[in-house]
Amino acid sequence: MTARLIDGNALARQTRAELAPRVAALAARGQQPALAVILVGDDPASQVYVKHKVADCEGVGMRSILDRLPADLPEAALLARIEALNADPAVHGILVQLPLPAHIDANKVIATIAPGKDVDGFHLANAGALMVGQRGFRPCTPYGCMRMLQAAGVEPRGRHAVVVGRSNIVGKPMAMLLLQANATVTICHSATPDLAAFTRQADILVAAVGRRNTITADMVKPGAAVIDVGMNRNEAGRLCGDVDFDAVREVAGWITPVPGGVGPMTRAMLLVNTLEAAEAAAAHAAPAAG
């Protein structure tokens, strides 16, 4: 058995195509959705990510505002810039590209972004909303993973989902989203003894640890859906995930590739969140306009 590929590139293209008319409808009412992206320093990977995000915005008709700031920027100056964007009604989403230089407290930066413009879904207000099942922005990577499962026809209800990784950005919110979808969820991490004993039980396996070949074929239940969030490089410098793709593909029922899997969907869900922020702002402004 060879696993069916969950093509993140194709699904992201479809998502952007679905968003474009909604963006155009808002723009026609004078409310063009706008995403502000702040890049502090010159981290090469961050520059690539930001370039893609700006291009994605332009591709669906959104406005992008890119702030390139020096690595030695004082923390107070960054916080002041975020406050200015918070106060600008023409800006609907604010994204500060991580990682930040060591002298800047990322938690303080995230807390400064207005929850209604926190399209990354990292603010404590949005994290808390996810925990208790209320409306809020979902972190883009786990949100994209859920869309990929949906597109593949993989129903989490009643399934055992195992999430390997417990980060605030992927692992924890991924577990919450799967729980909301009525999966039975296990979270594994660096202190989990006998990781394979848990992963072999998974109908849905999400690998998000950032270490190449963490998940091997003998660790996967036949027919499982395997979502690879990892982004690593092998000895040849080529991108690869946390899953031994070639071997696991012969065991799993569905699998996401790296590259071309979760990454494009993460960016697509950023657009979804930004558009929803713009639509919410337009709805809030509508009574005053009338």
Q: Does residue 289 surpass a pLDDT of 60?
A: no
Q: How far is CA 154 from the centre of its chain?
A: 19
When pLDDT is averaged across residues 137-152 and rounded to a whole number, the result is 98
Structure-model confidence comparison of residues 44 and 274, the more confident one? 274
pTM of the model: 0.95
- Percentage of the residues of the chain whose pLDDT score is greater than 70: 98
* 54, two tokens: 């700006």
Q: Give the tens place of pLDDT for each residue, 161-170.
A: 999 999 999 9
- Please give the positions annotated as active site: 53, 97, 120
- Percentage of the residues of the chain whose pLDDT score is greater than 90: 95
Q: Does residue 290 surpass a pLDDT of 70?
A: no
When pLDDT is averaged across residues 264-274 and rounded to a whole number, the result is 98
Of the candidates 263, 267, 189, the one whose C-alpha atom is nearest the C-alpha of residue 229 is 263
How many CB atoms sit inside 10 A of residue 45's CB? 10
Q: Does residue 287 surpass a pLDDT of 80?
A: no
pLDDT of residue 286: 65
Domains parsed from the chain with CATH numbers: 30-114 (3.40.50.10860), 140-263 (3.40.50.720)
Say which amino acid occupies 33.
P
Q: Does residue 262 surpass a pLDDT of 50?
A: yes
Say which amino acid occupies 248.
V
Q: Give the tens place of pLDDT for each residue, 193-224.
A: 999 999 999 999 999 999 999 999 999 999 99
CA angle 107, 113, 181 (to 5 degrees): 80
Q: Does residue 19 surpass a pLDDT of 60?
A: yes
When pLDDT is averaged across residues 126-151 and rounded to a whole number, the result is 97
Q: Give the tens place of pLDDT for each residue, 67-111.
A: 999 999 999 999 999 999 999 999 999 999 999 999 999 999 999
For residue 284, name the pLDDT band (cuts at 50, 70, 90): confident
pLDDT of residue 171: 98
The pairing of strands 184-188 and 160-164 is: parallel
**CA–CA gap between residue 256 and residue 269 (Å, rounded):** 17
Q: Residues 271, 179, 188, 216: is their CA dihedral positive or negative?
A: negative
pLDDT of residue 1: 74
Using N-to-C axis directions, what is the helix angle for 8-28 and 44-60, rounded to 10°?
Answer: 50
